[in-house]
């Protein structure tokens, strides 16, 4: 891999570090190619990596990602600021192990053909203005009717993101799954739903239907769209995946321990 691009967080340290990495790789004969890179180096945090993934969603199968964290350690970045020399050596001399993380595809249905959306961490259907009523189906089989603010659907990687902040389960990386959890669910005699995280196999399609998603937001990673006029949202594992370049062995358990 010799064609590269760099995405940096907006702070001065990240921008300077990104320029340093760029200059050193150019000096070693690599080619800076922002249109069709073979490798993307993210300098910042997990949020920076998420931005980079979404910016390259149309060529996601052609590029691998590696990250330097300039803040706190994250799940998507393998190198610290002090390890820039190691990063340069690794990407220019080693063949990485490729970790593939499948994206969540989100289909919206109304009378128009809408393009699919994709999420690396999670998709949230959420209404903070009023109680949202949602019928939930698993592979087209009715499960429940939920009432509350909304529902969050995440993959394995996203289990430690927003999902964890609302008491979802942390899923180990060797266990492919989707997880659905309620956001401020209402529970009484007239409103009954699971009220606990639901973990399903990765080939399960989770369909959310409502007579009205007016004022409801679909948040996917750091992005969002309104669901006015939509009556059905389906989430499932996409054929698209993000490829992370791993040049050294990292322990997921140690990463959990260091973060939490």
Catalytic residues: 46
d(CA 53, CA 148): 31
The structure tokens listed for 128 are 């903070």
Residues in the chain, total: 260
The CA–CA distances, whole Å, from 96 to 66, 86, 200, 208, 222 equal 10, 13, 31, 39, 28
Taking a C-beta distance cutoff of 8 angstroms, is the pair 169, 199 a contact?
Answer: yes
> What residue spans of the chain are helical by DSSP H?
12-27, 46-55, 84-93, 162-165, 252-259
DSSP characters over 150-206? EEEEE-TGGGGTHHHHTTPPP--TTS--EEEEEEEE--BTTB----S-EEE-TT--E
- Can you tell me which residue has the tokens 């690794």? 90
8 A C-beta contact, residue 8 and residue 14? yes
Given a contact cutoff of 8 angstroms between Cβ atoms, the answer to whether 227 and 233 are in contact is: yes
**DSSP strand E in 25-128: where?**
31-32, 39-44, 64-69, 79-80, 97-109, 117-119, 122-126
Closest C-alpha to 223, from 103, 122, 127: 122
Contact, 64 vs 28, CB < 8 A? no
């Amino acid at each position: 891999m010799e064609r590269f691009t760099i995405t940096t967080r907006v702070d001065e340290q990240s921008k300077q570090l990104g320029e340093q990495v760029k200059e050193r790789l150019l000096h070693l004969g690599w080619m800076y190619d922002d249109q069709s890179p073979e490798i993307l180096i993210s300098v910042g945090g997990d949020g920076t990596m998420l931005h980079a993934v979404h910016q390259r969603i149309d060529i996601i199968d052609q590029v691998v990602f590696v990250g330097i964290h300039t803040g706190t350690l994250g799940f998507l970045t393998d190198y610290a600021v002090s390890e820039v020399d190691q990063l340069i050596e690794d990407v220019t001399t080693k063949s990485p192990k490729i970790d593939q993380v499948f994206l969540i595809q989100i289909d919206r249905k109304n009378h128009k053909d809408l393009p699919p959306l994709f999420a690396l961490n999670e998709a949230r259907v959420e209404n903070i203005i009023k109680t949202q009523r949602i019928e939930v189906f698993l592979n087209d089989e009715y499960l429940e009717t939920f009432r509350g603010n909304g529902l969050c659907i995440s993959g394995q990687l996203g289990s430690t993101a927003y999902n964890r902040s609302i008491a979802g389960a942390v899923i180990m990386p060797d266990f492919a799954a989707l997880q659905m959890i309620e956001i401020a669910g209402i529970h009484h005699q007239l409103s009954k739903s699971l009220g606990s995280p639901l973990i399903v196999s990765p080939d399960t399609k989770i369909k959310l239907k409502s007579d009205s998603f007016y004022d409801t937001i679909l948040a996917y990673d750091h992005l969002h769209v309104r669901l006015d006029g939509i009556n059905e949202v389906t989430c499932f594992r996409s054929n698209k995946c993000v490829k992370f370049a791993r040049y050294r062995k990292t322990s997921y358990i140690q990463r959990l321990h260091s973060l939490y």
